[in-house]
Amino acid sequence: DGGITQSPKYLFRKEGQNVTLSCEQNLNHDAMYWYRQDPGQGLRLIYYSQIVNDFQKGDIAEGYSVSREKKESFPLTVTSAQKNPTAFYLCASSQTMNYGYTFGSGTRLTVV
C-alpha cells in the first residue's frame, strides 16, 4: 500500500542532543512537509520541499533542519537550539497544488 511512514513513533531526547525524525513516502509525491502540533495551536509549518535538493522555511523553522536528497525521503533534525521541542511532529506529502496532503502517523518527541 502506498503511504507515508514516520519513525520512530515515540522519541525521547535529552537536553542538548540533536535528534532526527524519519519520513519516507512511496506515493511518488513531489512535495513534502513537516508540521508541529501542540495542544490548542493546531498545526504549524516547520519546513517544506517541492523538489529534490530544495526546501524552504515555514513559519517556525528556528531550531530545526531538513534535507531532501531523495524524492522519497524528508528527514527532520531537531537541534539543541530548539528550546521547546516536546511536541507531536507530522510529516505530509502532496502530488500537485490542487490536492490536499497525505499525512504520516506522527512522531511524539519528548525531552527528558
Partner 1 sequence: AQSVAQPEDQVNVAEGNPLTVKCTYSVSGNPYLFWYVQYPNRGLQFLLKYITGDNLVKGSYGFEAEFNKSQTSFHLKKPSALVSDSALYFCAVKRLGNEKLTFGTGTRLTIIP
Query: Could you give the count of Cα atoms lying within 13 Å of 20 in the half-sphere of its Cβ?
Result: 9
The one segment of 14-22, 60-68, 69-77, 99-107 that binds partner 1 by CB under 8 A: 99-107
The DSSP bridge partners found for residue 10 are 108
21 binds partner 1 (CB under 8 A): no
How far is residue 63's CA from residue 60's CA, in Å, rounded to a whole number? 8
55 binds partner 1 (CB under 8 A): no
Per DSSP (E only), the strands in 14-80 are 19-25, 31-38, 42-51, 54-57, 64-66, 76-78
The DSSP bridge partners found for residue 72 are none
Find the binding residues for partner 1 in span 60-89 (CB under 8 A): 88
58 binds partner 1 (CB under 8 A): yes
In the complex, minimum distance from the CB of residue 89 to partner 1, in angstroms, rounded to a whole number: 10
Q: Which residues bind partner 1 (CB under 8 A)?
A: 4, 6, 31, 33, 35, 40-43, 45, 48, 50, 58, 88, 90, 92, 94, 97-106, 108
